[in-house]
Structure 1
Amino acid sequence: MFLVASVVVFAVFFANVALGAFAGSAFLGDIGEMLVLFAASILFVVAILKKEADQKSKNQGS
């Protein structure tokens, strides 16, 4: 769930950067762009930590 959310938020960031570079009409400003990239990074870290915790608990259960 968190990994999918991370990909979606990063896609919003990428779309904003691509529109700004090619069409000159980015829909987020500098602060909004920073916050979206920060949110994508945090969601990705949470997804990886949850996956690591699940793997660790699976290995300890065996």
Structure 2
Amino acid sequence: MSLIASILVFALFFANVALGAFADRAFLGDVGEMLVLFAASILFVVAILKKEADEKKNKEDG
């Protein structure tokens, strides 16, 4: 779930950057862009840590 959320938030960031670069229609300012990228990074780290915990649990059980 966290990985999907991370992908969606990063897609929002990418869309903002692409619109700003190609159409001069960015909908987020600098601070908003930074917060969206930060949120995507945090969600990605959470997803990876959950995946590692699951792998470790499976390795201990089996």
TM range (shorter): over 0.9
Could you tell me how far apart the structure 1 residues matched to 2:9 and 2:25 are? 19
Could you tell me how far apart the structure 1 residues matched to 2:55 and 2:34 are? 32
| Aligned ranges 1:19-34 → 2 under 5 Å | 19-34=19-34
- Note the C-alpha offset of 1:9: 0.1
Q: What one-letter code is carried by the residue in structure 2 that aligns with 1:33?
A: E
Unaligned runs of 5+ in 1: none
- Note the C-alpha offset of 1:17: 0.0
Q: What one-letter code is carried by the residue in structure 2 that aligns with 1:25?
A: R
Q: Residue by residue, what CA displacement relative to the aligned partner does 1:25-60 show, whole Å, maximum 9, x if unpaired? A: 100000000000000000000000000000000000
| Aligned ranges 1:45-56 → 2 under 5 Å | 45-56=45-56
| Aligned ranges 1:1-62 → 2 under 5 Å | 1-62=1-62
Could you tell me how far apart the structure 2 residues matched to 1:23 and 1:7 are? 23
Flag as ranges the 4+ runs of structure 1 deviating above 2 A. none
> Identity over the aligned pairs, expressed in percent?
76
Q: TM-score, normalised by structure 2?
A: 0.99
